[in-house]
């Protein structure tokens, strides 16, 4: 008698192999049999008409803080994710000296848009070293497995003090050696990698650029040598890929003799740069290095609603004058006062934010129930306004006020320069890429792409109408075996005997993303965007059911990966 048998499901096993009808047996935490006619289970699940997939592995998240206060790690746990890795992009919360947490909060707040008040109240900081932080994570109850990485910006600040916060400051030989020792210690204690940011998109809240932005070869090589000594860990980098950047990172990865994983996306001011980076990745792989590009599966979308961080009117004096009011009261005023609406639309402030928004209307769309994340540019706010001979600002205000003030707009600011997802398809089919831009736990009130695992399946294998779809088997592999393997997690990501029983049972016909919403459930009453899904009948983490019909069961079987 098995502990669990999922009977007659359609198994998409994570290897890319064609789907097949099979039973899946689980005993304790492990998949023990996959095939036809398996014997009885103490619990039986009717898998007819359901997909049975490995649990999803999301390697690019920022749950560094949330993992210490929210055992459910939403939104990811609503989307079939059973393993998350955080500490990406050079930001995080360890190591930390007593009294210096405010700088780390300032860095995380600026880079990843997690409010400082939320972090100050939510993160206990009752650790100093990275191994101590890992111990706190290990002890925290959690719905899924989590893994942490050593953030370069934080390590730099710990070793160099205030100087470390300034990317132009160069560490001396002793400081580089000290960083190396701490990194090696963290990797031995269970850190899954070293991460850094070399993008000017990343600024601390105080306006300073990210600490590792211009770290030069001696510093990078010193860290790489520590990875080499430890013989473990992935080197993750978010870079603008200016001249010489990839070469320096490639050289560091060679010194480390460890995998290099870089973010790969299309930016509007250099729409073909990602192709150059991809060619560099391919060349490095051909030379025998382990390098991959982390890609997304939809436009990186800035969400705008009356309650989000940024929206078309968020710097307008008539709006900021109402900022102290609760959201419902603001909406009532908007509704009752035509003069207020006229001022918002017609008397635009002459500021950077308003200019940027105005220029982005050609890439801004109404995000309603029907929105499919691959909109025609003819449905942009700018195009609609032109067709209707109206002001795009008027349309924007109407859209935000829809649905009792809960209406939303989305600005497709990356991965959508040409107004279609063909470019993303090109990224997805490339064998040198893995799934990776979800950013769960970050950008809490501007972006909500941690729902991407669901979108990957619904859009690319079922709903896409504007171009070719992709095989379901390939997509599942991309979010399971491939992401797991990228971090050396060879015990998961495949439905086969001997693998961890991290499993999803999905009603694929019914699978859908719900509309994003703003909720106020962060520490200190902080707000965030979240997005749920429908169609996850069951999710199992190491054989324990964590989600049933899209709701948490309350079980918290997750562990820290070391």
CA distance 501 to 141: 19
Distance CA 325, CA 318 (A): 13
Cβ proximity to Zn ion: between 264 and 476 the closer is 264
Task: Give 59 or 318: the residue with its C-beta nearer to Zn ion.
Answer: 59
Work out whether strand 503-506 and strand 536-541 pair parallel, antiparallel, or are unpaired: antiparallel
* Structural tokens at position 34: 């996959």
Strand partners, 304: 409
| Interior angle at CA 496, CA 494 and CA 498, nearest 5 | 105
Query: Which residue number, 123 or 409, has a Cβ lying nearer to Zn ion?
Result: 123
Of the chain, the end-to-end C-alpha distance in Å amounts to 32
What is the closest distance, in whole angstroms, from the C-beta atom of residue 421 to Zn ion in the complex? Answer: 21
Distance of alpha carbon 240 from alpha carbon 325, whole angstroms: 39
Minimum distance, C-beta of residue 314 to Zn ion, in the bound complex (Å): 23
Q: Quick one: 238 or 454, whose CB is closer to Zn ion?
A: 238
Q: Quick one: 89 or 334, whose CB is closer to Zn ion?
A: 89
- DSSP state for residue 101 in the 8-state scheme: H
Give least dist CB 442 to Zn ion, A.
6
Size of the chain, expressed as the number of residues it contains: 562
Ranked by CB distance to Zn ion, the top (closest) residue is 89
Q: How far is the CB of 79 from Zn ion (least distance, A)?
A: 17
Q: Is the peptide bond before 95 cis (omega within 30 degrees of 0)?
A: yes
Distance in angstroms (rounded) separating the CA atoms of residues 452 and 439 = 10
Residue nearer to Zn ion on the CB measure, 118 or 334 = 118
- The CA-CA-CA angle for residues 17, 29, 83, to 5°, reads 65
Q: Shortest approach of Zn ion to residue 280 CB, angstroms?
A: 20
As measured in angstroms, the least distance from the Cβ of 420 to Zn ion is 25
Least separation in angstroms between residue 343's CB and Zn ion is 38
Nearer to Zn ion, 57 or 89 (CB): 89
Closer Cβ to Zn ion, 201 or 466, answer by number: 201
Q: How far is the CB of 437 from Zn ion (least distance, A)?
A: 8
Which residues of the chain form contacts with Zn ion (CB under 5 A)? 88-89
Q: What is the DSSP string of 347-408?
A: S---SHHHHHHHHHGGGEEE--TT--SS--GGGSHHHHHHHHTS-HHHHHHHHHHHHHHT--
Strands 234-239 and 260-263 come out as parallel
């Amino acid at each position: 008698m098995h502990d669990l048998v999922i009977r007659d499901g359609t198994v998409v096993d994570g290897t890319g192999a064609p789907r097949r009808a099979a039973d899946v047996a689980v005993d304790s935490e492990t998949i023990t049999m996959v095939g036809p006619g398996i014997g009885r289970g103490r619990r039986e699940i009717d898998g007819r008409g359901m997909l049975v997939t490995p649990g999803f592995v999301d390697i690019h998240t920022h749950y560094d803080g949330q993992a210490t206060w929210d055992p459910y790690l939403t939104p990811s746990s609503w989307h079939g994710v059973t393993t998350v890795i955080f500490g990406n992009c050079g930001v995080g919360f360890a190591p930390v000296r007593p009294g210096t947490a405010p700088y780390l909060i300032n860095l995380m707040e600026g880079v990843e848009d997690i409010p400082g008040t939320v972090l100050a109240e939510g993160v206990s900081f009752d650790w100093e070293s990275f191994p101590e932080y890992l111990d706190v994570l290990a002890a925290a109850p959690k719905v899924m497995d989590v893994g942490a990485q050593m953030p370069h910006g934080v390590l730099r600040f710990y070793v160099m003090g205030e100087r470390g916060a300034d990317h132009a400051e160069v560490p001396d030989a002793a400081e580089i050696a000290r960083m190396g020792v701490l990194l090696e210690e963290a990797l031995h204690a269970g850190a899954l990698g070293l991460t850094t940011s070399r993008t000017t998109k990343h600024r601390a809240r105080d306006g300073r650029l990210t600490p590792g932005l211009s770290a030069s070869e001696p510093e990078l090589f010193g860290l790489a040598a520590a990875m080499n000594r430890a013989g473990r860990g992935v080197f993750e980098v978010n870079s603008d890929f200016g001249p010489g950047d990839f070469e320096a990172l490639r050289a560091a990865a060679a010194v480390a003799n460890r995998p290099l994983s870089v973010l790969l996306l299309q930016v509007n001011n250099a729409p073909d740069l990602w192709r150059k980076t991809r060619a560099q990745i391919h060349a490095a792989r051909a030379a025998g290095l382990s390098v991959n590009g982390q890609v997304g599966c939809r436009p990186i979308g800035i969400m705008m609603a009356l309650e989000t961080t940024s929206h078309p009117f968020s710097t307008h004096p008539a709006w900021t004058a109402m900022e102290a009011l609760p959201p419902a009261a603001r909406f009532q005023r908007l509704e009752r006062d035509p003069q207020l609406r006229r001022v918002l639309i017609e008397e635009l402030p002459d500021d950077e934010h308003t200019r940027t928004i105005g220029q982005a209307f050609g890439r801004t769309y109404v995000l309603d129930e029907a929105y499919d994340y691959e909109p025609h540019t003819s449905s942009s706010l700018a195009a609609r306004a032109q067709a209707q001979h109206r002001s795009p600002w008027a349309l924007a205000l109407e859209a935000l006020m829809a649905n009792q003030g809960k209406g939303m707009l989305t600005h497709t600011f990356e991965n959508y320069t040409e107004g279609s997802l063909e470019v993303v398809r090109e990224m997805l089919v490339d064998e040198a890429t893995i799934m990776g831009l979800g950013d769960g736990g970050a950008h809490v009130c501007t972006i909500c792409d941690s729902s991407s695992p669901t979108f990957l399946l619904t859009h690319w294998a079922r709903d896409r109408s504007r171009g070719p779809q992709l095989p379901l088997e390939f997509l599942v592999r991309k979010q399971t075996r491939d992401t797991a393997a990228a971090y050396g997690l060879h015990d998961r990501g495949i439905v086969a005997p001997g693998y961890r029983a991290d499993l999803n049972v999905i009603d694929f016909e019914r699978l859908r993303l719900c509309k994003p919403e703003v909720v106020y459930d962060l520490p200190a009453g902080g707000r965030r965007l979240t997005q749920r899904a429908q169609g996850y009948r069951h999710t199992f983490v190491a054989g324990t059911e964590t989600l049933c019909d899209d709701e948490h069961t309350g079980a918290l079987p997750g562990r820290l990966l070391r």
